[in-house]
A and B are shown apart, each in its own frame.
Chain A
Amino acid sequence: MVVDVRGVHYALGGRPIFSDLDVQVRRGRITAIMGPSGTGKTTLLKLITAQVPPDQGELRVFGQELATLGRREVYALRRRMGMLFQNGALLTDMDVFENVAFPVREHTDLPETLIRKLVLTKLQAVGLRGAAALMPAELSGGMARRVALARAIVMDPEVLMYDEPFVGLDPISLGVILRLIKHMNEALGITSIVVSHDVQELATIADDSYLISGGRVAASGTPAQLRASDSPAVRQFMTGCAEGPVPFHYPAPDYATQLLAAED
């Protein structure tokens, strides 16, 4: 078990995000975290990477309870993780090559020739070896995310987290990223956690999946099991209906009343 979330409660600004959340990520597998926007999928990654502490509940990563760890130990733990941000989060004052080389330079004393080989290998894997000299501002959103992926894998992490990796990618990049996630999982045995709402894409690569709704796990299992589920909430999400047990609307006063009140 790489990540073990048990009975986690978390509220942000008084609004409960998770209530009694249970998620288990097993070693060497691709785990999909699905759910409508605003269900706290990204927040879950923040909890796992110890950026924010849960209000209540147990959160173990690599068998270590996060709440008991000091700053130094958290950093040691993070060196075994990689994370792909939704917007790439590249460092804007250095070029693509230096961005990918950044974690290597910070954490190792490898000679320059070796760093060069390492970085070029990773850039080749995401198809951007030729873009090594570009600055982040010169990249498209999709390219920036691929560079960020190269940076996330350059230290060979044991677990890799993807925050909405498919948003806004063209079909070719999307296919490449999908194959990369699968390939890194199979060839390198990297445990992957993919947060997304792209059900179709995820279903092709995920081993396990969790559907989060209303602050807890609404359903879990293999993508096939989820698709075959007869739970209304799961069916609604998988088929993409606005009407159903999962509310599409953010809580609001009665529609007609509010419109009529605006006339006065």
Chain B
Amino acid sequence: MSNGDRDGLIVEGIRRLGSVVIFLARLLAQCAPALGRPWLLVHQVYNAGARSLIIIMLSGLFVGMVLGLQGYDLLHRFGSVEALGSAAALGLLKELAPVMTALLFAGRAGTALTSEIGLMRATDQLTAMEIMAVDPMRYVAAPRFLGGVIAMPLLTAIFSVVGLYGAQLIGVQLMGVDRGVFWSQMQDSVELRNVTEGVVKSLVFGTACSLIAVHEGYNAAPTAEGVALATTRTVVASSVLTLLLDYVLTATFL
């Protein structure tokens, strides 16, 4: 890569970042008016949240089961299987639930948001709204963004609960860890700040993933290829940003 290419990439990166920040400012300005139309918001929470429930619960169950199995195997070597409850709970609440939910959300709800808004752009629906003096930022973008931000912590909570059930299923039912020890160890070691960490993470991830999805759709090139590219960018950018933010947040909470 030549110097010119690299400079071009850097400039393009900064330009993109700037456009996202400006978009976020406009979006936040429209969030209050969007709250005045609860039915639009409820519809979007349903779209992003309720419709992702099955994939979130299934993934949560399997992740929990793997955690139970791997955790048991590891702890068994050190003769401390009674710590399985704490390990599973802390792992899920602090890391796995927020991150996995965000990644699944980007693939399930984020792509849907991007392609929906991108197609609205491609078929002149957003322009038609502008001409009708209805701001699409307020009517289309803001409710979808808020819907995602609200749905993410709820989905994360459900992921954690189902995940814990999965870990218990393997650890207690299959591997024979004592049920009382499993739950009481968990109760002893999980503190409120561990839960807070998960909630904060899920809120930040929800904001980031929804922002990227809505921004990419809103600024998609109005062609079939443009919408496809925007959808891909949503998944890639959301996933990478989620993992990056996860490190930053984990470092902050430690």
Contacts and interface: CB of A to CB of B under 8 A. Distances in A.
Interface of A: 49, 51, 75-76, 78-79, 81-83, 85, 87, 89-92, 102-103, 106-107, 148, 151, 155
Contacts of B120: 91-92
B124 A87 contact: yes
A106 B132 contact: yes
A103 B132 contact: yes
B205 to A, nearest CB: 27
A148 B131 CA distance: 12
Given A103-B133, A107-B134, 12 more contacts: A49-B131, A79-B133, A81-B131, A83-B128, A85-B128, A89-B123, A92-B120, A92-B125, A102-B134, A106-B134, A107-B133, A155-B132
16 contacts: A51-B127, A75-B135, A78-B132, A79-B133, A85-B127, A89-B128, A91-B128, A92-B120, A92-B125, A102-B132, A102-B134, A103-B132, A106-B134, A106-B139, A107-B134, A148-B128
Given A75-B135, A87-B123, A51 B130 contact: yes
Most buried by A among B119, B123, B125, B132: B132
Contacts of B134: 102-103, 106-107
Contacts of B131: 49, 51, 78, 81-83
**B interface, size bucket:** 10 to 19
Interface in B114-147: 119-120, 123-125, 127-135, 139
Contacts of A82: 131
Contacts of B119: 92
B199 to A, nearest CB: 32
B133 A76 contact: yes
A75 B138 CA distance: 13
A85 B130 CA distance: 12
Contacts of B135: 75
User: Interface majority SS on B: helix, strand, loop or mixed?
Assistant: helix
Contacts of A102: 132, 134
Interface string B182-212: 0000000000000000000000000000000
A91 B139 CA distance: 12
Contacts of A49: 130-131
Nearest to A163: B124
Contacts of B125: 89-92
B127 A89 contact: yes
Question: Closest 4 A-B residue pairs measured CB to CB?
Answer: A89-B124, A89-B128, A78-B133, A75-B133
B124 A85 contact: yes
Contacts of B129: 91
A208 to B, nearest CB: 23
A2 to B, nearest CB: 16
Most buried by B among A81, A82, A89, A103: A89
A224 to B, nearest CB: 32
Nearest to B126: A89
A192 to B, nearest CB: 15
A90 B120 CA distance: 10
Interface in B85-123: 119-120, 123
Nearest to A79: B133
Contact of B130 (A78, A87, A155): A78
Nearest to B138: A106
A31 B134 CA distance: 27
Contacts of A51: 127, 130-131
A149 to B, nearest CB: 12
A102 B132 CA distance: 9
A170 to B, nearest CB: 23
A49 B130 CA distance: 9
Contacts of A76: 133
A81 B132 CA distance: 8
Nearest to B119: A92
